Amino acid sequence: MAYRIPTAEVLAVAIVDVLRENPTVDSQKQLTELVRERLHCIDPAYAVTGQRIRRTAISSGLVRIEVQTRDSGKRRRLTRCPVCDSKLSKVRNRTISGDITIIGRRCPNCSYHMGLTERIPTRYVFSNIHSRRRSPADNGQTKL
């Protein structure tokens, strides 16, 4: 069966549409299923992976992502972010003697960070940055 790969713009629009209907999506798998449904409405031949959806959502800047991680216990020198594949920056600290040591790494694009041991992403929570603001009338409050 032949398939087509959607452009980054089409994919970003589908992600924003899904998050407009569901302001918070609790897993990458759930977001992938919802985005695939939306893309199949546009073109039934569209196919996309969860990893590409996650990276497109982060790079578009229209989605807030919370990364839940666990500690692996292994000391590894990661240079690329496992969440968005951007370069990790070093977190430095100055000691009492004046030396500078690296105490961890963090990603400038997403919320991923680690200490001296690698942290493995376990769950992603996606939320819409431009969610509808609640008005006082929604809270049962009235103007006097």
Whole-number pLDDT of residue 133: 54
Of all residues in the chain, the percent with pLDDT exceeding 90 is 76
Task: Record the pTM.
Answer: 0.79
Burial grade of 75 (CB within 10 A; 0-12, 13-18, 19 or more) = exposed
At 19 the pLDDT is 94
What local confidence, expressed as pLDDT, does residue 132 receive? 56
Predicted confidence at residue 78, as pLDDT, reads 86
Residue numbers in the chain where pLDDT is lower than 70 = 1, 131-144
Cα-based angle 53, 122, 35 (whole degrees, multiple of 5): 20
**Token pair belonging to 10:** 């089409």
Domain ranges of the chain: 8-129
Place of tokens 């997403």: 110
Place of tokens 């073109």: 43
